[in-house]
Amino acid sequence: MATPTLPVPTGPHPVGTTSVHLEDVSRPDPWIADVPTRELMITIWYPAAYASGPRARYLTHAEAVAALAGQKVPFTPDTLSSVRTHAFPYAPLAPGLRELPLIVLSPGFTRPRATLTSIGEDLASHGYVAVAIDHTYETPATSFPDGRVATFALGHGVARTPEFWHKVKTGRARDASFVLDQLLGSAPPWAGAAALAPDRIGMAGHSAGGAATVAAMVADKRIRAGCDVDGSTDPLIPDTGLDRPFLFLGRDGQYAPGDGPAADTWARDWPLLTGWKRWLVVAGAQHPSFTDLGLLADQLGLPLGATGSGLRTMTITRAYLRAFFDQHLRGDAEPTAFDRLTADHPEVRSCLPPAASRVPRQPLTQDILGGH
């Protein structure tokens, strides 16, 4: 079987990458009772000075083994661990760059941060710094620099109640804020952090990571623009609303107004989004199509039920995310440029929920940063 490939970044910059271990000593791990601190691994993609040396691996062998555990697939973990990205480890940051916008990326529940590689690399090739978070114990395997591997801890015996999902999303908001604290602090863990613009921060996520973007924006005003990609939300926006730019991007048949419970969560939040906002759905996509999983599945012969290719949906996802952040973090795009994207992407349609589709709010009693 041929080794799968990822799409080439579309921007003018080569892409550098590094992985960083972070430890939040101010709080215990939310999932494992006897772990006194919250440890995270993040991947940073950034515009590099030049392309040199071997490209970064997509997954380690241990991560590939964990990702495929218990699944019947016609390939081995070596197939995944042999995939190479388009980023060059530890390449120097492109010289002369200043005030770089920073995008935080949060993957879907049970998905590693690597599944957002194509998005992170593309943003970096256009002059962004993108940082994807592994939310420890919510993913099959998180490898730490000292050789430890934290595996998924929320399987059998953990009920998927509304309170559970609230904890997932608000816990991820805390992870995102901690990552920002570290990168923007006085002793950042990445040498390129001095080039970041603290007033140009965005966040996007897939599935639970997309819903967590809402929680993070409510909790952290440093995040100026956010996108939820195919994730149903909790009632976290206060009655006063969220006045920063927000994009909903999901699959048609699941997230168009009237499609069902998932779409109803967006309809509930829609009137509370009081700034610039768009609600878009993509025809032919399935849930994994917005991540690397869709295009890798196509190459590996794994049917997902999508009528559009994974590569096409990833092309759409990258184009709309970059245009959204260009407009709201850089201000270097015409106000109508985002909406004109539909001319080149006929699979995408804009939605406006009728008043009848709006779902009453049912607030939870927990604080936005949730304590469990």
How far is Cα 63 from Cα 84, in angstroms, rounded to an integer? Answer: 14
Determine which of 57-71, 122-136, 172-186, 295-309 has the lowest per-residue pLDDT on average.
Answer: 57-71
How far is Cα 166 from Cα 163, in angstroms, rounded to an integer? Answer: 5
In a domain, 371, yes or no: no
Lookup result for tokens 């256009």: 126
| pLDDT at 195 > cutoff 80 | yes
Alpha-helix runs per DSSP H in 23-161 = 61-68, 77-81, 117-125
Helix axes 310-325, 117-125, angle to 10 degrees: 50
Domain count, the chain: 1
Q: What is the mean pLDDT of residues 232-247?
A: 97
In a domain, 188, yes or no: yes
In DSSP notation, 104-115 reads EEE--TT--GGG
- Check residue 360 and give its pLDDT: 44
Torsion angle of alpha carbons 311, 106, 329, 264, nearest 10°? 80
320-347: burial string, b at 16+ Cβ within 10 Å, e else = bbbbbbbbbbeeebeeeebeebeeeeeb
How far is Cα 290 from Cα 142, in angstroms, rounded to an integer? Answer: 22
The pair of structure tokens assigned to 267 is 């309809």
203-219: burial string, b at 16+ Cβ within 10 Å, e else = bbbbbbbbbbbbbbbbb
- Check residue 71 and give its pLDDT: 81
- Check residue 333 and give its pLDDT: 64
The pair of structure tokens assigned to 277 is 């906002």
Lookup result for tokens 């194509």: 118
pLDDT, the chain, mean: 92
Would you call 182 exposed, middle or buried from its count of C-beta atoms within 10 A (0-12, 13-18, 19+)?
A: buried
The pair of structure tokens assigned to 17 is 């990458």
CATH number, domain with residue 88: 3.40.50.1820
In a domain, 111, yes or no: yes
In a domain, 196, yes or no: yes
- Check residue 243 and give its pLDDT: 97
| pLDDT at 363 > cutoff 90 | no
Percent of the chain with pLDDT over 70: 94
- Check residue 355 and give its pLDDT: 64
In this prediction, residue 372 has a pLDDT band, given cuts at 50, 70 and 90, of very low
- Check residue 359 and give its pLDDT: 45
In a domain, 87, yes or no: yes
Q: Please, what is the end-to-end C-alpha distance for the chain in angstroms? A: 46
- Check residue 361 and give its pLDDT: 45
Q: What is the mean pLDDT of residues 204-216?
A: 98
Angstrom distances, CA of residue 300 to CA of 79, 91, 119, 152: 9, 30, 20, 24
Q: What is the mean pLDDT of residues 299-327?
A: 96
- Check residue 342 and give its pLDDT: 87
In a domain, 283, yes or no: yes
| pLDDT at 22 > cutoff 50 | yes
| pLDDT at 325 > cutoff 60 | yes
Q: Are 142 and 150 in contact (CB under 8 A)?
A: yes
In this prediction, residue 294 has a pLDDT band, given cuts at 50, 70 and 90, of very high
- Check residue 319 and give its pLDDT: 97
Range of the domain at 336: 15-357
| pLDDT at 91 > cutoff 50 | yes
| pLDDT at 367 > cutoff 80 | no
Say what the pTM is. Answer: 0.93
- Check residue 371 and give its pLDDT: 32
In a domain, 5, yes or no: no
In a domain, 229, yes or no: yes
Residues 6+ apart with CB under 8 A from 192: 44, 46, 93, 129
For residue range 241-283, what is the model confidence (pLDDT) as tens digits? 999 999 999 999 999 999 999 999 999 999 999 999 999 999 9
